[in-house]
Amino acid sequence: MNYLAQNLEGLRTRYPALVQTTQENSGGLLTVVPSREGSPSATHEGRWVHSGYDPRKEAQAWAEAQLLEWKAGELGVVFGVGLLYHVEALIALKPQGAMLAVVVPHVAEFNDAASIRPMEAWINKVEWVWGTPVAMAEQLATQSAPLRFMTYGPAACLHAEVHRDLEVEVRRIAATKQGGRLHVAVVGPIYGGSLPIARHAVAALESLGHRVSWLDQSPHRASYDLFASGREPRHRLMMQSRFTDLLSLSVVTNLAEDPPDLVLALAQAPLNLAVLEHLRKKKFLTAMWFVENYRHLTYWQQLAGGYDHWFVIQQASCVDALTRAGARHVHYLPMAADPALHRPLGLTEAEQAEYGADVSFVGAGYANRRTVLPGWLSSDWSFKLWGNEWDGADDLASVLQRGGARIDTETCIKVFNATAVNLNLHSCAGDGLDPEADFVNPRTFELAACGAFQLVDERSLFPDLFAPKEMVRFNATADVPSLIRTWLADSSGRREIAAAGRRRVLAQHTYTHRMSELLAVIGMREPDRIGAMVRGDRNAGILGQRTDAPPELAALLRRFPPGQRVELKDVAAQIKANGAGRELAREELLILMLDSYRAETRDLV
């Protein structure tokens, strides 16, 4: 029997366009086959979309698993259509007050489901979301409820790209709507390249209005180095490892004294697995922004399961590797620039003379750079090489500045600004270009943010980050001299491209964008925690306007500015501050009682 007409009839009032499009589509995306149990199941290109034995039983199990996290008041958003057994099961089990939306990436699939299964009993209990990813994201964004995404894998994998694009768009919208205030503890490394990035992240989070506890480990650098002064490598390693464990404990102490909503660690942060597991037990939410090439530094393998969220600067292979190692949520989050720091500068003549050159390179002396750079020297242009770890690079000695001393950020920025053609060669262990060019270094964004012209080696991720008119790339080291020659002769062309690159960075690639994105990602995974905070749902004004707020609680909440985030501890503190010497209302007493137990839940150390 074909149920299409009667199913669509139920939808006609609310979704006339979906009904019309479905009717115009002939279906046939799925191959319907009977299951062993008798009910229809389906396959797509030979793969089962539902159980071949008992689709209802399988759907029931899936739905029950979703209920573990789905809370009342949230809009559940289902990825994966198939024959909709799982949606029917979810409707039967959904919590009181919870709402459900189903994303329909392809009406042919919806046609198949609506043709083969009777759905009138529940078809109107679902919000049907269809159209382009952007249209679907906008439709979801109009919902006031927090979104809880649920993926029915066997069907969702048919349209993985659509779902990914939709999620990206929802995150983008969520990022623009962030109005809440979080408390984020940022844990930096003791030293190294991720240290300035940690500082940029701190500044960005603060600029977004969040409260940041910067747990700076760099003051411990001297002690860390001192522990490395032993002759025996085994002793050095042991001492440094123990020292790192001590710092890990020190971070925990800090977290215990002022518990944050989110602990954000940057690569090389001294947090060991035991501490991360302890934090999870104590309900701390943790994230790591691993701003490293995962192939070079591999300690992530030991820590993968420790963090709740991983953010990485590489895509597929890196995400797969971390997932295999036990990471629960891995997201791509590229590097960025800080426009307050990385900016066009007006240089004095003396500065121009000191830092300027036709061609410059700033960076450490990795193997491939030592091999490649000498070939880019020429009597046709002046060349300055800045940075450390160039010992033994004799053929570059004539252009090495300051004797190969490490240079600070401000000097870097002056060099970028003073140079006509900045070279940007990603490091790798080989002797040429990076054969697995799948991450973009911070220098790319920093140069662009400075409005400086650069020639950069091609990266597989560039298409998503910069257009060719915003950045000149090369695919072979041999191409660089001619590119230098061309662009040295075209100052207006250089300015145009550099300005376009800078505009792109300011529009999309600042640390503020990255932190917004990071919080949006976590917020979508944790709609009832970070998501609610980021949206501002925990602000006094919104809490007080809730229809379920009793007058007494609303009165308590009115004591706070409407835009201030309010939690149990804040209300309790307010009561303690104003309650001495007067008779407390019953709600106030209840809050004090709950707060006395809340104070024990973060007993970390």
Q: In what order do the strands lie in the sheet with 47-48?
A: 31-34, 40-44, 47-48
Q: What is the identity of the amino acid at 265?
A: A
Q: Smallest distance, Å, CB 538 to other proteins?
A: 7
Stretch that binds other proteins, among 47-55, 111-119, 328-336, 524-532 (CB under 8 A): 524-532
How many residues lie near other proteins (CB under 8 A)? 40
The nearer residue to other proteins, 496 or 587, going by C-beta atoms, is 587
Cα–Cα distance, 299 to 320 (Å, whole number): 16
The nearer residue to other proteins, 257 or 464, going by C-beta atoms, is 257
The nearer residue to other proteins, 251 or 557, going by C-beta atoms, is 557
Comparing CA positions, the residue from 140, 148, 150 lying closest to residue 79 is 150
Q: Smallest distance, Å, CB 544 to other proteins?
A: 11
Comparing CA positions, the residue from 422, 205, 453, 437 lying closest to residue 313 is 437
H helices present in 98-232, as ranges: 107-116, 133-141, 153-156, 160-176, 194-207, 221-227
Which positions from 281 to 320 touch other proteins by CB under 8 A, shown as an x/- string?
Answer: --x-------------------------------------
The nearer residue to other proteins, 324 or 546, going by C-beta atoms, is 546
Which positions from 494 to 523 touch other proteins by CB under 8 A, shown as an x/- string?
Answer: ------------------------------
Which positions from 584 to 603 touch other proteins by CB under 8 A, shown as an x/- string?
Answer: x-xx-xxxxxxxxxx-xx--
Between helix 107-116 and helix 4-11 the angle, nearest 10°, is 120
Q: Smallest distance, Å, CB 571 to other proteins?
A: 6
Residue from 301, 436, 576, 605 binding other proteins (CB under 8 A): 576
Listed in sequence order, the residues at least 6 apart from 508 whose beta carbon sits closer than 8 Å to its beta carbon are 465
Q: Does 575 bind other proteins (CB under 8 A)?
A: yes
Q: Does 434 bind other proteins (CB under 8 A)?
A: no
The nearer residue to other proteins, 262 or 421, going by C-beta atoms, is 262
Contacting other proteins within 539-568 (CB under 8 A)? 543, 546, 548-550, 553, 566-568
Residue from 284, 368, 538, 542 binding other proteins (CB under 8 A): 538
Q: Smallest distance, Å, CB 566 to other proteins?
A: 7
Q: Smallest distance, Å, CB 188 to other proteins?
A: 26
The nearer residue to other proteins, 506 or 592, going by C-beta atoms, is 592
Q: Smallest distance, Å, CB 260 to other proteins?
A: 12
Q: Which two tokens stand for residue 301?
A: 């393998």
Q: To the nearest 10°, the Cα dihedral for 552, 557, 562, 567?
A: -140
Stretch that binds other proteins, among 5-13, 128-136, 426-434, 526-534 (CB under 8 A): 526-534
Stretch that binds other proteins, among 2-10, 418-426, 504-512, 582-590 (CB under 8 A): 582-590
Q: To the nearest 10°, the Cα dihedral for 7, 10, 15, 19?
A: 30
Stretch that binds other proteins, among 245-253, 305-313, 475-483, 581-589 (CB under 8 A): 581-589
The nearer residue to other proteins, 24 or 600, going by C-beta atoms, is 600
Q: Smallest distance, Å, CB 575 to other proteins?
A: 8
Residues in the chain: 605
Q: Does 393 bind other proteins (CB under 8 A)?
A: no
The nearer residue to other proteins, 45 or 583, going by C-beta atoms, is 583
The 3 state secondary structure assigned to 530-558 is HHHHHHCCCEHHHHHHCCCCCHHHHHHHC
Cα–Cα distance, 250 to 213 (Å, whole number): 14
Are 419 and 452 a contacting pair, CB within 8 Å?
yes
Beta partners for residue 286, in sequence order = 263
Which positions from 246 to 285 touch other proteins by CB under 8 A, shown as an x/- string?
Answer: ---------------x---------------------x--
Q: Smallest distance, Å, CB 567 to other proteins?
A: 5
Angle at 412 between CA 502 and CA 217, to 5 degrees: 105
Give the burial class of 346: count Cβ atoms within 10 A of its Cβ; 0-12 exposed, 13-18 middle, 19 or more buried: exposed
Q: Smallest distance, Å, CB 597 to other proteins?
A: 4
Stretch that binds other proteins, among 14-22, 148-156, 234-242, 530-538 (CB under 8 A): 530-538
Comparing CA positions, the residue from 329, 279, 273, 263 lying closest to residue 300 is 273
Q: What residue has token string 């001192």? A: 226
Cα–Cα distance, 53 to 229 (Å, whole number): 65
Cα–Cα distance, 340 to 349 (Å, whole number): 23
Comparing CA positions, the residue from 18, 15, 30, 16 lying closest to residue 115 is 30
The nearer residue to other proteins, 13 or 547, going by C-beta atoms, is 547
Cα–Cα distance, 157 to 466 (Å, whole number): 29
Q: Which two tokens stand for residue 398?
A: 């004539």
For residue 271, count other CB atoms closer than 10 A to its CB: 25
Contacting other proteins within 156-215 (CB under 8 A)? none
Q: Does 58 bind other proteins (CB under 8 A)?
A: no
The nearer residue to other proteins, 274 or 573, going by C-beta atoms, is 573
Residue from 25, 529, 563, 604 binding other proteins (CB under 8 A): 529
Are 186 and 215 a contacting pair, CB within 8 Å?
yes
Q: Smallest distance, Å, CB 515 to other proteins?
A: 20
- Residues in contact with other proteins by CB under 8 A are 261, 283, 528-529, 532-533, 538, 543, 546, 548-550, 553, 566-569, 571, 575-576, 579-584, 586-587, 589-598, 600-601
